[in-house]
Structure 1
Amino acid sequence: MAAVPHGQPVGPTTFQKRTMGAMMGAGVGLTIGFIFGSFTILRGGAGPRGALSTLSQYMLSSAATFSFFLSIGSVIRNDGELPPHWEAARLQFSPMNIHSRSQGISMMKARWDMEKRKEQLQ
C-alpha cells in the first residue's frame, strides 16, 4: 500500500467523483438509449432520417441526461463533512440510546412535568 503524504486527501476529490458519476451515467444512458431506440425503430420504423440516425439520437440524448443527473448526484453525495471512514467510526463508537419501555415512560412523564412547570411560570 502506498504511503499517503500528510495533509493530502485520502479519497477522490469532488471533481473526480463528478467525472466518475458522469462517465457511469453516460454508460447507462447509452445502454438505455440503445434499448429504447431499437425498440422504437422495430415498432414504428426508422423514420425519414434512417435507422442509424434515429438510434444515435436516442442514445446520445439519454446518455447526456443520465450523465448530467448522475454527476450531480455524486457531487451531492460527496457533500458530507467527515470522510466516510471517520463517519463510520463515529457511528460505530457512539453510545446507543436504547431504553426499556419503563425508562421511556418515566422520561416522557418527567418532560411533561417540566413543560407543565414552564407553563405555570409564564
Structure 2
Amino acid sequence: MARLLFKLAQVPDDEAQEIRTILDEHQIHYYETDAGFFRVGLDAIWLADGTQEERARELIREYQAERAVRQQQNYAQLVEAGQVPSVWQHFCAQPIRFIAVALGIMFVAGLTLIPFVMLLRNA
C-alpha cells in the first residue's frame, strides 16, 4: 500500500531535488504526485512499498537536520556581512507597502479585540 513520505507544498526546489537524490542513492523506490491544474491534489513524494518507510524517514530526518544547520550558518554569514535588511531598510525600500501592511495588521487586531473591549465596558 502506498505511503505518504514527504509533502512538497512550499518546499524549495533544491530541497526537493536533494531528497529525490537521497532516495535514489539508497535505492528507495518512490513516485511523485502533483496538485494538478486546479491545485486540489497533493504535491508529494510517496512510497509504493511501505517496507522502506522507516529507512526513508530516517534518511529525510538526517538530511533535514543537516540542512537546518547549513541554512543557519548561511543566515549567520549574511547577517555578519550586513546583507540581511533591517526593518528600517524594508521601510525605505517600499514605504507605501510597509505602511499598508502595518495598517492592515492594526485593522485586523482591532477587529479581533472589539468583542473583548465591549465585554469590559459592559462589566
| Higher RCO (C-alpha under 8 Å, 6+ residues apart) | 1
TM-score, normalization: structure 2?
A: 0.33
Name which one, 1 or 2, has greater alpha-carbon Rg. 1
TM-score, normalization: structure 1?
A: 0.33
**Structure showing the higher strand proportion among its residues:** 2
